[in-house]
Amino acid sequence: MLYRPGVARRTFNSIESTADQADAYVQQGRWAEAEKHYRELIGQTHVINYEYDDWLRRLAEIYRNLNRPREAAFVYLYLHYFDMARAQLAGDAHTGLRARLAEIEKKWTEAAQLYQQAKLPVHAAVSFEKAKQFTEAAAAWKSMLHLPELTHRPYEAALVHFNYGLAAVRLDPNSSEARRALIESQRKLEQVADDFEQVGELERAFDCFQILLKLGKESAQFENLAEGYVNCIRVLRDDNLKFYVLQYYEDFIKLALERGELHAAATLYQEAAAFAARAGLPYDRHYQHKSALTWMKCAERFIETGVPVQMVENALLAAASQHSAVGDYPSVRECFERLAGLELPDRAKKRFSTIALRYKGLASPPVELPGLPDYLKQQHAYADIWFVDLLEWEMDGDAYAVAASIVGDLRYPNGIRRRALVVLLMLADAQARNAEGNAETLAEVADKLGELQSYAALSPLEKLFSSGDASIRREAVRALRFLYFKRSFVIIRKALSDPDPQVREAALVAIAGLHFPHAFNPLARIYRESTDPRVRAAALQSIGKITTVEAGEFLVMVLRQESGGLREAATAALSQMDNADVLPILRQHHEIETNPQVRDTLGELLRRH
């Protein structure tokens, strides 16, 4: 996700004059007026730390004087003044917040117990897991297996079964109950993944396959691992995420080699080479060379273990083919010499000897066969989505809960934590006025959630979009223009067919703001599905700003197949695209184009570049 500086709303003349006025109100003991001014100040989330933190310390003191301890605790939680925050949270009304505070302090057992008191079983179970209290964790997950709320939530039900199964296996590796839970989770995840793929939500299907990968790793079953990786690679390939595909091949190959699965590793190297070649990435020869070496090791392993000679023959022939592809002819000769030495029919041995002689004296290729650079590789410590997605489900799109989960978490940049604090204080103020359910309040909440620029904001925005009030839906959609995630398009696609014209207009604004590499497929889908020329033109404009080869190819296709305004939009997008790799595509289509008008347009684009 791209980071953007804080969006400041200038509802006052200047920071200096507002701060002076706020301080004057404090000196006079006019706490309500002072609170209003300091709230305006902390809305300036771009200010340097020492000045911003000084405002917060004063604001917390004001809340204490106003007898608003919860709001003071929010501020102290941001500042990591844990003891001061805890002192404000006495009483059963604040159990959930005390649990959050204990969680931020990594007091996992205390957090788990408080979450149980607050009737938040998922949060409690995750905290028990982090405390490594596996008996309590298993009991907590087991208590959720048959929750009525999960009856029509197959994905979340699968995650509960998965977490219970893993927790129970840690306690008793031979537990039949644990195995049944894991089998049930696998069945549900496979079905849910298929459902997600059917409706085009590939990233959600990918989540399912990543969890199946985790299941394969925990069970040490290579077949399960293979199925998980194959499906992850397939989804990434379908989503045009080329480097991610190679990263997953790298990870899969590493695991195969660690487990001595040489045949699988050699085959995967070949597949990675074929993919790199098709995708126009310069790593195919590297993977072919690795495949050749692995096939030779595979042949040696086959000889040692006494497998049928035909399997050794096939491995050496595969190695020879891959060595030949990279021009390593001495190694090709070595493969055929080894083949000639196998216990094969005399006719075959003679043929292999003859072939080996043909490669005598031929040179090796240059040793430089570049592989995927280290900076593009990721150590796949997979996100614990089996926890994260259940925590999201339990928070149920509650903007207050989401903001509270962010404000004290130092994994988020200060700018995002500050905006989360603004959301919390705005909601608290609305509650004090009995206005938390007003359309005006909820529309402002939606706007502030967008400024969080965090994936966590999507769930509450989805809930706000389900509102019957068009003004709330409109702001929920507008907020998406800051949220650079594929999931943002789930709401946008619904908004494009909303009965309210202002909601549909907000969707166009959001489309115009979302141009990042992973947005290509959702934008292309919107283009294909829509019959509205304005929507299609907006999608083309954003695709043009992505500047990948796939985006360029798509725009050229539109230019050639469409006419009128859509052709003009595609042409304008291509003229602004800054990617030299698109030029050969333009040149190729210019050479074969039969429509004179399109040919002239392509020629003009080539001259501009």
> What CATH number is attached to the domain comprising 69?
1.25.40
Average pLDDT over residues 486-508: 94
Q: Could you give the number of structural domains in the chain? A: 2
Q: Is residue 345 part of a domain?
A: no
Q: Is residue 153 part of a domain?
A: no
HSE-up of residue 483 (Cα within 13 Å, Cβ side): 31
- End of a domain among 38, 71, 106? 106
Tell me which H or E stretch contains 575: helix 564-576
Dist. CA 602–CA 598, nearest whole Å: 6
Q: Is residue 570 part of a domain?
A: yes
Residues ≥6 apart with Cβ < 8 Å to 378: 247
What's the pLDDT at 65? 95
What's the pLDDT at 603? 83
pLDDT for 366-415, tens place per residue? 566 777 776 566 554 456 889 999 999 999 999 999 999 999 999 999 99
What's the pLDDT at 125? 97
Can you say how many angstroms the Cα of residue 218 is from the centroid of all Cα atoms in its chain? 22
Average per-residue pLDDT for the chain? 89
Helices (H), 220-328: 222-238, 242-258, 262-278, 284-305, 309-325
Percent of the chain clearing pLDDT 70 (strictly above): 95
Report the range of poorest mean pLDDT among 216-230, 325-339, 391-405: 216-230
| Residue 134 exposed, middle or buried by CB count within 10 Å (0-12, 13-18, 19+) | middle
HSE-up of residue 215 (Cα within 13 Å, Cβ side): 30
Dist. CA 276–CA 444, nearest whole Å: 47
Average pLDDT over residues 471-491: 94
Per the CB < 8 A criterion, the answer to whether 509 and 480 are in contact is no
Average pLDDT over residues 498-511: 96
What's the pLDDT at 367? 61
Dist. CA 22–CA 39, nearest whole Å: 10
Q: Is residue 92 part of a domain?
A: yes
Among all chains, which residue has been given the structure tokens 């706020």?
22
Amino acid at 95: T
Residues ≥6 apart with Cβ < 8 Å to 159: 185, 211, 386, 389, 390
Q: Which two tokens stand for residue 282?
A: 């310069």
Q: Which has the closest alpha carbon to 458: 425, 500, 492, 501?
A: 492
What's the pLDDT at 81? 96
What's the pLDDT at 4? 31
What's the pLDDT at 134? 93
Q: What 8-state DSSP symbol labels residue 118?
A: T
Q: Is residue 535 part of a domain?
A: yes
Average pLDDT over residues 42-71: 93
CATH number, domain containing residue 593: 1.25.10.10
Average pLDDT over residues 147-162: 93
Can you give the residue range of the structural domain that contains 51? 15-106
pLDDT for 57-84, tens place per residue? 999 999 999 999 999 999 999 999 999 9
Q: Is residue 538 part of a domain?
A: yes
- End of a domain among 89, 106, 123? 106
Whether the per-residue pLDDT at 8 is higher than 50: the answer is no
Q: Which two tokens stand for residue 120?
A: 């938040």
What's the pLDDT at 12? 47
Q: Is residue 565 part of a domain?
A: yes
- End of a domain among 88, 106, 124? 106
Average pLDDT over residues 11-27: 83
Q: Is residue 174 part of a domain?
A: no
